[in-house]
Amino acid sequence: MYAFEYHRPTSVQQAANLAAQFEEAKFLAGGHTLLPTMKLRLAAPANLIDLGQIAELHGIQRSGDAITIGAMTKHVEVAHSAEIHAAIPALAELAELIGDPHVRNRGTIGGSIANNDPSADYPAACLALNATIVTNKRKIAADDFFQGIFTTALEEGEIITQVSFPIPAQAAYAKFRNPASRYALVGVFVAKHADRVRVAVTGAGSNGVFRMPEMEEALSRNFAAEALDGISVPEDEMNSDIHADAAYRAHLVGVMARRAVQAAAARG
């Protein structure tokens, strides 16, 4: 690991000022991606700005028909939140499926979303739940935020402060996990809203998280697993690696989508 300067701001404004002051600076959230890449000398930021001590970035609250989660809220806090279990239990269940206890006790929702790993869980929840990602500069719809593998709409020095999730009528997440890393080989989040159904897939796409419009239309007409019969997932849009080839992932998208719909319908 190369030498670097460590900064620990106590406000979002202070963190933004530090980012503007130093050209080679990276924000540190949970650190599960940044620190390993630094140890391998694949990244060498001259300055690390730790967001962990910024109180305004922590916390969970329900306001009207939405749940708002601070960017530095840990996965374990989402998994055990009474507010989330009552409003969007599928989101709490998703958080409980992330990694292992070490990852859940250190990783944060803001860090996961900002990193946009193609196998991460939260991006699927954001897309399916039609979330709004709030930064220190603006509000970004989830549909506009995720722009490809490890790519988002965030500008240089922009900080995610919170994520707002509209509360759906029904929702569920089904995940086929890599047994070692617990990352999603395929994860499908299905959410039934007042006006339509949204379906988002993670772990499978060659360009990262994506939505399934054909499934959404079918489920908006009939929210039942059998509504997905006959819908095929193009293999040429799937990722292929040592863990699963494109054909297998395409098949799993359909399987996981049906499981998610069944789970959401059973929840009522």
Query: How far apart, in Å, do the first and last CA atoms of the chain sit?
Result: 51
Q: What DSSP string runs through 222-259?
A: --SGGGGTT----GGGB---SS--HHHHHHHHHHHHHH
pLDDT band at residue 14 under the 50/70/90 scheme: very high
Query: Do residues 55 and 193 lie in contact, with contact meaning Cβ atoms separated by under 8 Å?
Result: no
Amino acid present at 130: N
Tell me which residue of 178, 236, 227, 162 sits closest to 199, measured CA to CA: 227
Hey, what are 254's tokens? 């359909």
Confidence at residue 180, expressed as pLDDT on a 0 to 100 scale: 85
How far is the C-alpha of 66 from the C-alpha of 109, rounded, in Å? 16
Residue 31: pLDDT band (50, 70, 90) is confident
Per-residue pLDDT at 15: 97
pLDDT in tens, 132-157: 999 999 999 999 999 999 999 999 99
pLDDT at 217: 98
111: closest CA among 1, 170, 33, 48? 33
Torsional sign, CA 117, 111, 107, 260: negative
267 — pLDDT class (breaks 50, 70, 90):
confident
Least confident interval from 18-22, 38-42, 204-208 = 38-42
pLDDT attached to residue 1: 72
The whole-number pLDDT of residue 49 equals 96
Residue with tokens 């890449």: 37
Q: Name the residue among 8, 18, 16 with its Cα closest to residue 53.
A: 8
Determine how many CB atoms are found less than 10 A away from the CB of residue 167.
18
Residues 6+ away with beta carbon under 8 Å from 139: 132, 133
Q: What is the pLDDT of residue 182?
A: 86
Residue 212 to residues 6, 54, 94, 204, 238, Cα–Cα distance (Å):
42, 37, 19, 12, 13
Q: Would the pLDDT of 268 be above 80?
A: no
**Residue 33 pLDDT greater than 90, yes or no:** no
pLDDT at 7 over 80: yes
Per-residue confidence (pLDDT) for residue 256, from 0 to 100: 98
**pLDDT digits 0-9 by tens, 218-257:** 999 999 999 999 999 999 999 999 999 999 999 999 999 9
> Over 80: is that where the pLDDT of 202 sits?
yes
Q: Find out whether 158 and 164 touch, Cβ atoms under 8 Å.
A: no
User: What's the mean per-residue pLDDT of the chain?
Assistant: 95
Tell me the pLDDT band of 24, cut-offs 50, 70 and 90. Answer: confident
